[in-house]
Amino acid sequence: MNANAPIGPALDSERVTLAHGGGGTAMRRLIDEVFLDAFRTEATGEMEDQARLTAPALTETGARLAFTTDSFVVDPLEFPGGDIGTLAVNGTVNDLAVGGARPLWLSAAFIIEEGLEISLLRRIAASMRQAADAAGVAIVTGDTKVVGKGMADKLFITTSGVGAIPPGRDMAASKIQAGDVALVNGVLGDHGAAILAARGDMALSTDIASDCQPLNGLIEAVAEAAPNLRAARDATRGGLASALNEMADAATLGIAIDEEALPLRREVVGVCEILGLDPLYLANEGTLVLFVPEAEAEAALTAMRAHPAGQEAVAIGRAVAQHPGRVVMQTLFGGGRIVDMLVGEQLPRIC
Amino acid sequence: MRYASEFRDPVAAKGVLAAIDETVNAIGATETNPVAIMEICGGHTHAIFRYGLDRLTPPGLEFIHGPGCPVCVLPMSRVDECVELAERPEVIFTTFGDAMRVPGTRKSLLQAKADGADVRMVYSPLDALDLARKHPEREVVFFGLGFETTTPSTAFSILQAADEGLTNFSVFCNHITVPPPIKALLDDPDMRLDGFVGPGHVSMVIGLEPYRFIAEGYGKPIVVAGFEPLDLLQSVLMVLRQVQEGRAEVENQYARVVPAEGNPASLAAVAAVYEPRERFEWRGLGEIDKSGLRIRDAYLTFDAETKFGIGYGAGPRQVAEPDGCACGAVMTGRIKPPACPKFGKECTPERPLGALMVSSEGACAAYHQYRLASLEAAE
């Protein structure tokens, strides 16, 4: 990559061709005019093969570096509430944040299928920049590859992220203790339902938008209000049910939740009714569950509700000594049932 | 959806549960000598455990989980035939989602897809018709599966295809009907049933008439029920009251949706396109007379069995079930899922041996996924 004056002809084609992956001037144009234009910040220095970075948060005594990576594939690429770019930024930001890290820098690698509209790529790059700004991170390095038609589905993005865990902070599911309270920051399943509806193959018309958002600010707010914040997970693939099962497993504790307390949107429940799906397993991209000691639960809830990403925060249950590794739910009727891990994908039922 | 919360009202449920308790006591039923009610439909089985209703009803009431899960009763040989069709290079095989994971002798449709077969999940046979229009060079086969609820939509898709003169669309017909297996269960001398809860969405199509033989011929009450938890509890109470009063009638709890005569337009389309097969194999139950549907001669060009020369009657019928699999005993209510030696051991939702573990509406999957008692028993 080179930040100097552009070389060769302007990016005049409407679609990405194999030439844009050839390492020559076409590729340079694509990188300069689509990605660099969108991502350039003060942190973007000389264009070497690597970003060279420093931050005071990392040099503090006792600070730890957090590092994570995630790949993003979604169909359709753009959907109500976001696109693959916002997912790729927020997903990695949130993977850092739920570990207590303050996200600093991201990398972004793009695998582009020949034929993708360049205007679409520009929109996605722009929304990545917007998402990065909102989360307070910079995209500092990246890569593009172009593959032939049919070798990939339009666009795949991989982002890696680096963050700093402040001294003394140690969030992990294994720290959860019996009696700790489980809190979620808002309604469940919006992302999964929005994607299902946006695929358009069910003729469902809803105005559900993805909940895609960064969670680092919210977690900082909770950590300040509830200094003994034990652990957090974002309830992405597999939904709240999977996040809770993973936490129960790691903590060797049971988790008991209350169906009546679950924040569910009427439209999401409706989509699930029609398709025979369970909203507990629908994906979220800006929803988390966290555990705090009972004594700090009120303070944590107040802090969450004061933050834009947590206005609908509620307590949904607690960690218990019984049935270690398992999640159970008190149903609306006062009955009880297991909330199990999902096997494979949720498949819409026949009738 | 407007109805959903109203029919999940916990306060109303408490009242119905108290009445259920009272009626079970009045009948004199106990844990060792319970009133046995079969919920025919897998959707109801699923609802019982998903809402934890089994924890709320008295021990003198026993739910027997019926055969009404179309994925569960599909014989393995039919899954094999699906895979065979799907593996033909010219075929785009289209199916409802939950049929994808059912194990066949060699593989499931999901595995066939991973191995390169063109298997696509659709939400309606009309989606399959669309594919046929878009891909005139390919053969689009729709996996017609299910009870009276899904039969009309495949009938309409065949009528539509005939209307348009589509030549590359066919249906692999595995449609089955609810009343014949109920008759088979009632004829079984080992079955001890006091009444039935019938599937409301089936009656949306067929109405109430086809169940009259249960009340009049066999003297057993049946109540057609909706799918919300309160619907189910109310229906159970209605069955119990009939038992208590010594009545045997067909009653309709789901009158807000189910007209007594069903849906004449759907029935007419089904009658135009389909006719009963002599007999059809049900997994775990064996062959049952007049329990399946085939495509009538007039529409044979849309019959995948005819078109591809495979299917019911084309080859030897019996494919052995996995060794030690007790799906049949569970499906007839002889045993409860945990009594099967494979349950939760060799047979789990992750690696299902038998079909009752595959679909979330199968009794075994419902027990495994939701049932708290199994967790408590383990402690």
pLDDT in tens, B26-73: 999 999 999 999 999 999 998 899 888 988 999 999 999 988 889 888
From A337's Cα to the closest Cα of chain B, the distance in A is 5
Note whether A349 contacts B150, CB cutoff 8 Å.
Answer: no
Measure in Å the smallest separation between the Cα of B348 and chain A Cα atoms. 10
Here the contacts of A168-173 (C-beta below 8 Å, separation 24 or greater) are: A168/A62, A169/A100, A169/A223, A170/A100, A171/A98, A171/A99, A171/A100, A171/A229, A171/A230, A171/A231, A171/A232, A172/A99, A172/A230, A172/A231, A172/A250, A173/A230, A173/A231, A173/A233, A173/A246, A173/A247, A173/A249, A173/A250, A173/A251, A173/A291
Contact A181, A315 (CB under 8 A): yes
Which pLDDT tens digit goes with each residue over B312-354?
766 655 656 677 788 878 877 788 999 999 998 999 888 888 7
CB A104 within 8 A of CB A168: no
Q: Could you give the CA distance from residue A290 to residue A318 in angstroms, rounded to a whole number?
A: 10
- The reply to whether residue A337 touches residue B368, judged by beta carbons under 8 angstroms, is no
Inter-chain Cβ pairs, chain A and chain B, closer than 8 A:
102
CB contact under 8 A, A351 and B146: yes
Q: What is the pLDDT of residue B326?
A: 85
Shortest distance between the Cα of A321 and any Cα of chain B, in A, equals 12
3-state secondary structure of A49: coil
* pLDDT recorded at residue A12: 63
Residue B188: pLDDT over 70? yes
Whether A321 contacts chain B with CB within 8 A: no
* pLDDT of res. B24: 98
- pLDDT exceeds 80 at position B369: yes
Q: Are A181 and A197 in contact (CB under 8 A)?
A: no
To the nearest whole angstrom, how far is the Cα of B263 from the nearest Cα of chain A? 16
| B178 vs A contacts (CB less than 8 Å) | none
The predicted model gives B125-147 an average pLDDT of 96
Which residue in chain B has the smallest CA separation from A274? B1
Full pLDDT tens readout for chain A, 351 residues: 444 444 444 566 789 998 888 888 888 888 988 999 899 887 666 677 888 899 999 999 999 999 999 999 999 999 999 999 999 999 999 999 999 999 999 999 999 999 999 999 999 999 999 999 999 999 999 999 999 999 999 999 999 999 999 999 999 999 999 999 999 999 999 999 888 888 766 666 678 899 999 999 999 999 999 999 999 999 999 999 999 999 999 999 999 999 999 999 988 988 887 777 889 999 999 999 999 999 999 999 999 999 999 999 999 999 999 999 999 999 888 888 999 988 776 766 655
- Which of B8, B50, B100 lies closest to A337 in CB terms? B50
Question: Are B10 and A270 in contact (CB < 8 Å)?
Answer: no
Residue with more model confidence, B236 or B359: B236
Q: Which residue has the higher pLDDT, A203 or B373?
A: B373
pLDDT above 90 (res B21)? yes
pLDDT at B1 over 50: no
Percent helix, strand, coil in chain A, to 5, is 35, 25, 40
Question: What confidence score (pLDDT) does residue A106 get?
Answer: 97
Contact B1 A349 (CB under 8 A): no
Q: Is B97's CB within 8 Å of A273's CB?
A: no
Which residue of A323, A337, A350 is in closest CB contact with B145? Answer: A350
Asked if B359 lies within 8 A of A349 by C-beta distance, the reply is: yes
Reported confidence tier of residue B2, pLDDT bands at 50, 70, 90: very low
**Residue B21 forms contact with A (CB below 8 Å):** no
- Residue of chain A whose alpha carbon sits nearest to that of B1: A270
Chain A window 268-287: which residues touch B at a Cβ cutoff of 8 Å? Answer: 269-270, 273, 275-276
Q: Is A149 on the interface with B (CB under 8 A)?
A: no
Chain A contact present for B160, CB below 8 A = no
Spell B208-245 as b/e; 16+ CB within 10 A means b. bebbebbbeebebbbbbbbbbbbbbbbbbbbbbbbbbe
pLDDT value of residue B103: 84
B127 touching A (Cβ < 8 Å): yes
Whether B360 and chain A come into contact, CB under 8 Å, resolves to yes
Distance from CA of B100 to the nearest CA of A (A): 8
Is the model's pTM score more than 0.90? no
- Closest A-chain CA to B375: A323
Mean pLDDT over the full length of chain B: 90
Q: Under an 8 A CB cutoff, do A323 and B375 touch?
A: yes
Q: Which of B109, B203, B369 to mutate to test the interface with A (most CBs of A within 10 A)?
A: B369
Identity of the residue in B1, B50, B150 whose CB atom sits nearest the CB atom of A270: B1
pLDDT of residue B361: 81
* DSSP label of B57: S
CA atoms of B97 and B69, how far apart (whole Å): 14
- Of A97-101, A342-346, B76-80, B168-172, the range with the lowest mean pLDDT is A342-346
Q: What is the pLDDT of residue B372?
A: 79
ipTM of the complex: 0.76
pLDDT given at position B31: 93
Q: Do A337 and B371 touch (CB under 8 A)?
A: yes
Question: Which chain B residues have a beta carbon less than 8 Å from that of A273?
Answer: 1, 4
- Nearest residue of B to residue A275 by CA position? B123
Touching check for B122 and chain A: CB below 8 Å? Answer: yes
Q: Note the pLDDT of residue B318.
A: 60
Handedness of CA B326, B330, B332, B335 (dihedral sign): positive
Contacts of B43 in chain A (CB under 8 A): 351
Residues 73-92 of B with CB under 8 A from A: none
Q: Inspect the interface and report whether the beta carbons of B55 and A338 lie closer than 8 Å.
A: no
pLDDT at B360 over 60: yes
Give the gap in angstroms from C-alpha A174 to the nearest C-alpha of chain B: 22
